[in-house]
């Protein structure tokens, strides 16, 4: 039974969920853009129609691309980077056409990157967002909603631009050098604002990562028997009540260590611990890839495999028993365990375990009878 948590699998699973959430955010933004298009059609908003349509078409195409990426490669390490690129393109399209109406949108990719708990991705999101900001400023000036500030480079308070006599707004000279002034006066300040958010976003990302690790550690502690590193009784009860009833067929082995109390009393608890460890390693040696093993009591172990028939379970029992016998001959500590096994439908898991337990009990009785003469261990099945 391989009960260890595979860190790569855990990360990939988490990234797949984060990738789906990133897609969800992009879908929500697309819906919002669509809603503003409707408001514009109803003349509630007064933006030039073609700018809204261009925005909607561009954002929809980006969202479709993101959806395909998630569908085809949700758990790949590169996926998060591809989604960040598409989201930044999405944001660039919005900003280029809607200009000052949508200034804050540039921070969304960086915010989305925080959920991945990956500082490298946050830095990547910032770098491509900086490129996006420069593109938004220049493309917006030429193709988007006219931003009067960019056009005339207003740099004073309102009263300084109003004629005190006529009340007319006084415009300065039209910006004659947009490629020099706009990056300096508009793109750079926005990039600095984005940069100022990075420490906070990284801190939030680290907090998320720390909480996730803590939750994983607590979950492992809550379901692990610390001595054997097998699943404990709490995990066993959870699986029996919630998971195994959904499985079509299960094979169950019920193992009980023989003479553990006597070993503890006569040879000391260190010897008893060695006995438990020896039985554990024999069980896991043959079941780690096909079963889950649980220590449900001081000397009791339940091993459950999905889809195993009676022949497969019997073979596992023989192999485990052989391993135990070899260890018994190699040490002065008497190492043996009684076992019973049964096979049945997952929906009847408790009954199957009870059958295996009953078989184990018969086997244990047989073991103690045989000990009086030869010291051998018999094996009974649910047919016995």
- Residue 5 scores a pLDDT above 60: no
Q: How confident is the model at residue 168 (pLDDT cuts 50, 70, 90)?
A: confident
Residue 7, pLDDT > 60, answer: no
Confidence check: pLDDT of 282 > 60: yes
Q: Which domains does the chain possess?
A: 7-146+177-219 (no CATH), 233-381 (3.30.70.270)
Task: Look at residue 36 in the predicted model and tell me its pLDDT.
Answer: 95
Mean pLDDT estimate for the chain: 89
Q: CA-CA distance, 152 to 160, in Å (whole number)?
A: 14
Q: Output the CA torsion sign for 28, 30, 33, 38.
A: negative
Per DSSP (E only), the strands in the chain are 249-257, 291-295, 300-306, 337-345, 380-381
What pLDDT does residue 156 have? 77
Instruction: Give the model's confidence band at 169: pLDDT under 50 very low, under 70 low, under 90 confident, else very high.
Output: confident
Quick one: which H or E segment has residue 291?
strand 291-295
Q: Contact, 254 vs 350, CB < 8 A?
A: no
Q: pLDDT tens across 218-276, in order? A: 888 899 999 999 999 999 999 999 999 999 999 999 999 998 999 999 999 999 999 99
Query: Which of the pair, 289 or 107, is modelled with greater confidence?
Result: 107
* pLDDT the model gives residue 167: 81
- Can you read off the two tokens belonging to residue 182? 């706009």
Residue 264 tokens read as 């503890």
Instruction: Record the pTM.
Output: 0.67
Q: What is the pLDDT of residue 370?
A: 78
User: pLDDT tens for residues 26-85?
Assistant: 999 999 999 999 999 999 999 999 999 999 999 999 999 999 999 999 889 999 999 999
Q: What is the pLDDT of residue 13?
A: 54
The number of beta carbons lying within 10 Å of the beta carbon of residue 157 is 8
Cα–Cα distance, 98 to 74 (Å, whole number): 31
Quick check: helix, strand or coil at residue 251? strand
């Amino acid at each position: 039974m391989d009960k260890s948590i595979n860190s790569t699998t855990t990360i990939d699973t988490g990234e797949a969920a984060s990738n789906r959430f990133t897609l969800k955010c992009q879908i929500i933004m697309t819906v919002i853009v669509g809603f503003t298009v409707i408001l514009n059609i109803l003349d509630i908003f007064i933006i030039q129609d073609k700018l809204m349509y261009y925005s909607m078409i561009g954002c929809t195409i980006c969202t479709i691309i993101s959806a395909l990426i998630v569908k085809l490669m949700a758990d790949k390490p590169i996926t998060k980077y591809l989604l960040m690129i598409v989201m930044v393109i999405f944001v660039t399209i919005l900003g280029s056409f809607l200009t000052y109406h949508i200034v804050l949108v540039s921070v969304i990719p960086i915010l989305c990157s925080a959920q991945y708990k990956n500082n490298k991705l946050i830095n990547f999101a910032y770098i491509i967002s900086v490129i996006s900001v420069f593109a938004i400023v220049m493309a917006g000036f030429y193709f988007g909603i006219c931003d009067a500030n960019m056009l005339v480079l207003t740099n004073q308070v309102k009263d300084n631009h109003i004629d005190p006599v006529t009340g007319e707004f006084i415009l300065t000279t039209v910006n004659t050098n947009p490629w020099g002034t706009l990056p300096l006066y508009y793109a750079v300040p926005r990039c600095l604002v984005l940069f100022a958010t990075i420490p906070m976003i990284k801190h939030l990302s680290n907090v998320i990562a720390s909480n996730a690790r803590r939750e994983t550690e607590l979950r492992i502690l809550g379901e692990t028997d610390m001595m054997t590193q097998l699943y404990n009784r709490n995990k066993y009860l959870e699986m029996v009540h919630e998971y195994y009833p959904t499985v079509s067929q299960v094979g169950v082995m019920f193992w009980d260590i023989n003479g553990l109390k006597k070993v503890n009393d006569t040879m000391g608890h260190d010897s008893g611990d060695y006995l438990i460890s020896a039985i554990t390693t024999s069980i896991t040696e043959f079941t780690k890839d096909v079963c889950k093993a649980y220590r449900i009591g001081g000397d009791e172990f339940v091993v459950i495999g999905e889809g195993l028939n009676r022949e497969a379970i019997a073979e596992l029992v023989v192999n485990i028993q052989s391993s135990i016998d070899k260890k018994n001959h190699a040490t002065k500590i008497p190492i043996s365990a009684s076992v019973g096994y049964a096979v049945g439908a997952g929906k009847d898991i408790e009954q199957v375990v009870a059958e295996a337990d009953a078989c184990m009990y018969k086997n244990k009785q047989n073991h103690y009878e045989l000990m009086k003469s030869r010291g051998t261990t018999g094996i009974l099945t649910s047919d016995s």
